[in-house]
Chain A
Amino acid sequence: MSTTTVAHDEVHHDHPSGIMRWLTTTNHKDIGTMYLTFSLVMFLVGGAMVLGIRAELFQPGLQLMNPDFYNQLIGVHALIMIFAALMPAATGFANWMIPLQIGAPDMALPRLNNWGFWLLPPSAILLTLPFTLALFGIGDGAIATGWTFYPPLSVQGGIGVDFAIFAVHLLGVSSVMGSINIIVTLFNMRAPGMTLMKMPMFAWGWLITAFLLVATIPVLAGAVTMLLTDRHFGTHFFDAAGGGDPIMFQHLFWFFGHPEVYILLLPVWGFIPQILQTFSRKPMYGYKAQVYSLWAIGALAVVVWAHHFFTAGMPVPALLYFMYSTMAISLPLAVLFFCWIKTMWKGSMTFETPMLFAVGWIILFGIGGLTGLVLADVAADAQYHNSYFVVAHFHYTLFAGGIMGIMAGVYYWLPKMTGNMYDETLGKWHFWLTAISFNLTFIPQFFVGLAGMPRRIPDYALQFAEFNMISSIAAFALGLSQLLFVYVIIKCVKGGKKATDKVWEGAEGLEWTLPSPPPYHSFTEQPVIK
């Protein structure tokens, strides 16, 4: 008897063209492309909003908008950047690369994958529609509570809050669908011979992300639903006058909100080491140490949430616990930094654009991590809480650590995805313009924050004027630099020098064994890992 094990069931043999291809596709590469395109569009939308914010902050005093509209821009900018730009970008890479990296022909549940994506555009519409409705006199604009939905402000807010609650529900459903698919795919569809400890680091990063989503999305969904019932159905979950507790919302929100940071960053921590090893032409250093560190960070992520509201008041033992547990995250993170640097150590390094972004990412994300350590200190946090120092800190983690990481991934995989090399000169220009303007935008915000400038305020004292002016000019430079990014991508998609299968000399992994671009159905013959 002979037994043949062949590639997994392929459920999509029809390949419609035109718009129906994108509406009905179950192909992981098509869906990945849709996620990445959606992410890029929403990145520009969220970026345009922040340029409005920075234009208002160019000078002290109210210049362009009323404070309520300013607050709406702040809240929707954050929600869009987190949920509609950064998360879909990471999911787009997961869809594109995880099946290729583990030797699977597609994701395990392709139809679920399609639904997961198509929930995103309605969510983005729900988030931004209140702006348009307000122009026609319907409602009072978008959510103006910041992305945190804190009651009682959110209970008292206008219809923008309801729109945001439903948007968050749709985004949550989409995220759970994505995590089901990732978990099932990674456990069930690995090529023969690919044990868990042979999985690429990107797959590990996403696996832990998926577990974090499983742990936290129901909490967010429950929290915003309770908010909804407080607003419209007479419950008092968060109303102190009715026996509720507004601080409970903060616990619920940040139980989701803090792991969300790692949900955004873990996929990046997965593929950055792959980029470092490729351009250092050396094997990744400390694979096992990195995997265990990612798990340690994932576990710590769900037990440190209250450091986001030390100043709300809590018992001293709780303050101490949350301070020390937060600081403990720096230990596995230090292991990761060590491994990333050691991967490059004495390597034959070259600095193509992905490597420039990866090295720049290590430095800038390092600043984000270290300033986070400052904020984890209860005594120091009492001074810095709610100041621009916090804004600068989380932009070093989420813009530098998140978005610049994603940009590294885009440059790294774009030739594989499109079959064309991007314009290296323009890519390098994009890196330097982004890195310089990013620092010029946010370093001044550390200074004004340390000097006491509060966040989420459209006006400020004269003493902060110069630094804010620098920050606003640099923010516009940062925003305009991203148009270059869009141009480089479009140019690469349209044509350019043909990419080889391996693309990069030092690239390792199954995705580089396929042609560039990979065929519509990736692995028709099952690869075997030795």
Chain B
Amino acid sequence: MLLVMDCKIVARPNNSLSPENSLKLMVLLAIIALVIALGFTHIGAWLVLPFAGLELAAFAYAFYYIYLHSSDYESIAIEDDKIIVEKRNFKETSITEFQRYWTQVHVRDVINNKSLASKNGLFISSRGKEIEFGKYFIDDEQRVTLARELKQKLQSIH
């Protein structure tokens, strides 16, 4: 009997600042810096203004950078006989599809001598195609747990 379970797992970074609030914060910082810089420009110290501009440009880039990364995610969706792994990093989104019946999930040691951080990686493979899931967003323990859950779901169709 074939048991099909719809399931989606999403891993993404924690962002406590919404894009709207980061815009508000940027506006607040701009008001502070520009009011002061324009005040000093008014009395003749105009060289304050370009430095205020540079500072705001740096802040704007920082907020833009975290905004672009705020929508990063990796997801695994199991839909009927397909496994869809979706990754978004910065502006790029990639989608990889696997045939559910032929897909294998395994956790493999990826430690090297220089790394004290992640010791293993969660890999999804099928017919010579392999992709790593959760390289950045989840830790070793979560990888093992997730791999076990995925294996169970894959086994449930056999």
B13 neighbours in A (Cβ, 8 Å): 6-9
Q: Is B51 in contact with chain A by the CB < 8 A criterion?
A: yes
A184-B62, A218-B37 as given contacts; A4 in contact with B16, CB under 8 Å: no
Shortest C-beta distance, A258 to chain B (Å), equals: 13
Contact B44 A248 (CB under 8 A): yes
- Which listed residue, A17, A194, A217, touches B55 by the CB 8 Å rule? A217
A14-B114, A248-B43 as given contacts; A190 in contact with B16, CB under 8 Å: yes
Shortest C-beta distance, A310 to chain B (Å), equals: 19
Q: Is A156 in contact with chain B by the CB < 8 A criterion?
A: no
A108 neighbours in B (Cβ, 8 Å): 62, 66
Shortest C-beta distance, B60 to chain A (Å), equals: 10
Shortest C-beta distance, A168 to chain B (Å), equals: 12
Q: Is B33 in contact with chain A by the CB < 8 A criterion?
A: yes
Contact B40 A6 (CB under 8 A): no
Contact A525 B45 (CB under 8 A): no
A5 neighbours in B (Cβ, 8 Å): 12, 14
Q: Is A12 in contact with chain B by the CB < 8 A criterion?
A: yes
**Which parts of A1-57 form the interface with B (CB within 8 Å)?**
1-17
Contact B55 A214 (CB under 8 A): yes
Contact B25 A2 (CB under 8 A): no
**Which parts of B30-55 form the interface with A (CB within 8 Å)?**
32-33, 36-37, 40, 43-45, 47-52, 54-55
Report the separation of the CA atoms of residues A187 and B10 in the bound assembly, to the nearest whole angstrom.
Answer: 23
Contact A218 B48 (CB under 8 A): yes
Which of B45, B52, B117 has the most C-beta atoms of chain A within 10 angstroms of its own C-beta?
B45
> Quick one: closest A residue to B67, CB to CB?
A188
Shortest C-beta distance, B62 to chain A (Å), equals: 5
A187-B21, A188-B17, A189-B14 as given contacts; A219 in contact with B48, CB under 8 Å: yes
Report the stretch among A220-228, A288-296, A313-321, A367-375 that lies at the interface: A220-228
Report the separation of the CA atoms of residues A215 and B65 in the bound assembly, to the nearest whole angstrom.
Answer: 22
Shortest C-beta distance, B51 to chain A (Å), equals: 4
> Quick one: closest B residue to A181, CB to CB?
B62
B120 neighbours in A (Cβ, 8 Å): none
Q: Is A176 in contact with chain B by the CB < 8 A criterion?
A: yes
Contact B115 A15 (CB under 8 A): yes
**Which parts of A147-182 form the interface with B (CB within 8 Å)?**
176-177, 180
Contact B44 A215 (CB under 8 A): no
A218-B37, A218-B51, A524-B139 as given contacts; A6 in contact with B117, CB under 8 Å: no
Contact B137 A187 (CB under 8 A): no
B32 neighbours in A (Cβ, 8 Å): 211, 214-215
Contact B16 A188 (CB under 8 A): yes
Contact A222 B40 (CB under 8 A): yes
Contact B58 A6 (CB under 8 A): no
Q: Is A192 in contact with chain B by the CB < 8 A criterion?
A: yes
Contact A6 B137 (CB under 8 A): yes
Q: Give A240-255 as 1s and 0s: 1 = Cβ < 8 Å from B's Cβ atoms.
A: 0000110010011001
B114 neighbours in A (Cβ, 8 Å): 14-17
Q: Is B141 in contact with chain A by the CB < 8 A criterion?
A: yes
Contact B16 A187 (CB under 8 A): yes
Contact B17 A6 (CB under 8 A): no
Report the separation of the CA atoms of residues A93 and B121 in the bound assembly, to the nearest whole angstrom.
Answer: 33
A189 neighbours in B (Cβ, 8 Å): 14-16
Q: Is A183 in contact with chain B by the CB < 8 A criterion?
A: yes
B37 neighbours in A (Cβ, 8 Å): 218-219, 222
Contact B66 A184 (CB under 8 A): yes
Report the separation of the CA atoms of residues A3 and B10 in the bound assembly, to the nearest whole angstrom.
Answer: 5
Q: Is B144 in contact with chain A by the CB < 8 A criterion?
A: no
Ordered by A's residue number, 12 sampled pairs between the chains whose C-beta atoms are within 8 Å are: A1-B10, A2-B10, A3-B8, A5-B14, A6-B13, A17-B114, A183-B25, A188-B15, A188-B70, A219-B36, A237-B45, A248-B45
Q: Give the top 10 A-B pairs by smallest Cβ distance, nearest first.
A: A222-B48, A524-B139, A218-B51, A188-B17, A218-B52, A221-B51, A222-B47, A190-B16, A8-B13, A15-B116
9 further A-B pairs in the complex, CB-CB below 8 A; given A11-B136, A183-B29? A176-B55, A180-B59, A188-B22, A219-B37, A222-B37, A248-B44, A251-B43, A255-B36, A520-B117
